């Protein structure tokens, strides 16, 4: 049994397939497993809490994990040790989530492309057809993650409190979310995964896309992401497309294409959930 895992900071999707790529059970969802944010104890707790995973742990022969927060060696080792302990009969590989985005968006295995993730967090890399290249090391959601769910959540909350929202948008936002200051601070400073908490607010933008305020907010974030991340690969952009993975990218396709035209890069494919495209990649040689 092969487990393929696509994990953001908010949620993790676990897909169990046989060596021919046939699905063996329904997709399992757990909380996100970001080793850059969560402790070893918390990682164990999230995985062991799933009865579905517990019931199959001894049958698993391979675990291919792609996740947010897995871009550094220490984070990968931490999560790898946890997975090897739980799935004790399995070969375990832990990679950053960008590789999952690459394998699920490129049109053929050797295609070169700039690949972006816009989900709970954000990232951007260049894949030359064999090797992944990054020009900016992520410093996490506090300092980076432009155009991500947590970025937009933070902007929305700020605009609400600074009275930068149009009145009708502010009323709708306040009706949808608990905007009590103590409640917000409790979730940001005393609860785990504040980045995921912030990202929950981003859905609001796509429910209010008839508002000029919302369209401007989305495009301003994409422009910032493009300036700071995509344009790191100016030379490569002359010959390769830019692919996008993640829910924010998927629902902001129109705005991304408009910003791309402004800034002079070519948009390629969009993939909301990379995990399905990983199955043939990992089972073809087993």
Antiparallel, parallel or unpaired: β 122-127 and 113-118 = antiparallel
Instruction: Write the pLDDT tens digit of every residue in 24-75.
Output: 999 999 999 999 989 999 999 999 999 999 999 999 999 999 998 898 899 9
Contact between 86 and 47 under an 8 Å Cβ cutoff? The reply is yes
Q: Rounded to two decimals, what is the model's pTM?
A: 0.80
User: Domain range holding 19?
Assistant: 2-100+274-283
Is pLDDT larger for residue 119 or for residue 109?
A: 119
Does residue 157 lie in a domain region? no
Instruction: Write the pLDDT tens digit of every residue in 126-145.
Output: 999 999 999 998 888 899 99
CA distances from 70 to 9, 10, 182 (A): 11, 14, 32
At 85, list the tokens. Answer: 């302990």
**What is the rounded average pLDDT for all residues in the chain?**
94
Predicted confidence band of residue 12 (pLDDT cuts 50, 70, 90)? very high
Per-residue confidence (pLDDT) for residue 226, from 0 to 100? 98
Does residue 11 lie in a domain region? yes
Does residue 180 lie in a domain region? no
Per-residue confidence (pLDDT) for residue 200, from 0 to 100? 96
Does residue 211 lie in a domain region? no
Does residue 91 lie in a domain region? yes
What's the structural domain count of the chain?
1
Q: Is pLDDT at 21 greater than 80 in this prediction? A: yes
Length of the chain: 286
Does residue 84 lie in a domain region? yes
Q: How far is CA 217 from the centre of its chain?
A: 20
3-state secondary structure of 8: coil
Element (H, E) at 16: strand 11-17
CA distance 286 to 282: 8
Rounded average pLDDT over 198-211? 95
Per-residue confidence (pLDDT) for residue 284, from 0 to 100? 74
CA distance 203 to 201: 6
Does residue 25 lie in a domain region? yes
Does residue 79 lie in a domain region? yes
Contact between 98 and 117 under an 8 Å Cβ cutoff? The reply is yes
């Amino acid at each position: 049994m092969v487990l393929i895992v696509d994990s953001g900071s908010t949620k993790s999707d676990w897909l169990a397939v046989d060596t021919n790529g046939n699905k063996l059970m329904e997709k399992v969802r757990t909380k996100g497993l970001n080793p850059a944010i969560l402790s070893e104890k918390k990682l164990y707790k999230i995985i062991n809490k799933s009865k579905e995973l517990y019931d199959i742990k001894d049958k698993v022969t391979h675990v291919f994990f792609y996740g947010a927060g897995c871009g550094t060696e220490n984070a990968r080792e931490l999560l790898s040790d946890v997975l090897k302990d739980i799935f004790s009969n399995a070969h375990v590989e832990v990679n950053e989530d960008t590789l999952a985005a690459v394998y699920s968006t490129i049109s053929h295995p050797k295609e070169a492309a700039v690949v972006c993730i816009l989900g709970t967090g954000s990232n951007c890399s260049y894949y030359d057809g064999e090797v992944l290249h990054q020009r900016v090391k992520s410093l996490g959601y506090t300092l980076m993650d432009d155009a991500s769910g947590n970025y937009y959540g933070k902007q929305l909350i700020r605009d609400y409190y600074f009275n930068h929202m149009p009145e009708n948008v502010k009323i709708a936002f306040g009706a949808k979310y608990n905007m009590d200051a103590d409640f917000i601070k409790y979730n940001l400073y005393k609860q785990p995964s504040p980045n995921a908490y912030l990202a929950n607010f981003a859905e609001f933008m796509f429910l209010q896309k008839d508002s000029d305020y919302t369209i401007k907010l989305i495009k301003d974030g994409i422009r910032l992401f493009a300036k700071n991340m995509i344009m790191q690969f100016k030379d490569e952009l002359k010959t390769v497309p830019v692919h996008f993975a993640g829910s924010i990218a998927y629902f902001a396709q129109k705005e991304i294409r408009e910003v791309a035209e402004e800034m002079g890069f070519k948009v390629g494919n969009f993939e909301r959930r990379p995990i399905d495209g990983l199955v043939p990649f990992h089972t073809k040689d087993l």
